[in-house]
Amino acid sequence: MPKVLFINGPNLNMLGVREKEYYGSQTLEEINTSLSSMAAQKGVAAEFFQSNHEGELVDRIQQGYGKVDCIIINPGALTHYSIALYDALKLLQVPVIEIHLSNIYARESFRNKSLISPLAVGGIFGLGPIGYNLALEAACQLLEKE
């Protein structure tokens, strides 16, 4: 069974509480529950990890070496400056899909650059929680082709 690892970076544990105008009212737990159901229906194993600490995110990505078939990542604020996340994701040599609840390209200028985008097969920006579902659908289709 193919395995998709969902990685969520800093402050995403506060979904449903923080800046609802950008991030909506759903919690990360609610999003993950929905994704678990969708993954089961599609015959994919979904695993979830969130941390506010860059090193923990890097460690979890590295632990996926040879064990995960795709990564869907919302790196949060680390999107814009974490070379460590970029290097860890590149090491795995699996498809990476970048996701952001808000449109990072329509916000403050410091959010307009993603270090993750150049290695991602694609990205979903600004569609809120449904973006995670779209990313899982894309991952399933990519994995079918392999």
Query: Annotated catalytic residue: which of 80, 100, 105, 132?
Result: 100
Cα–Cα distance list, 88 to 7, 65, 91, 94 (Å): 12, 9, 5, 11
Told to judge if 23 belongs to the known catalytic residues of this protein, a careful annotator would answer yes
Told to judge if 22 belongs to the known catalytic residues of this protein, a careful annotator would answer no
- Contact predicate 113/100, CB 8 Å: no
User: What residues contact residue 30 under an 8 Å CB cut-off, 6+ apart?
Assistant: 16, 129
User: What residues contact residue 21 under an 8 Å CB cut-off, 6+ apart?
Assistant: none
Query: Which residues are part of the catalytic machinery?
Result: 23, 100
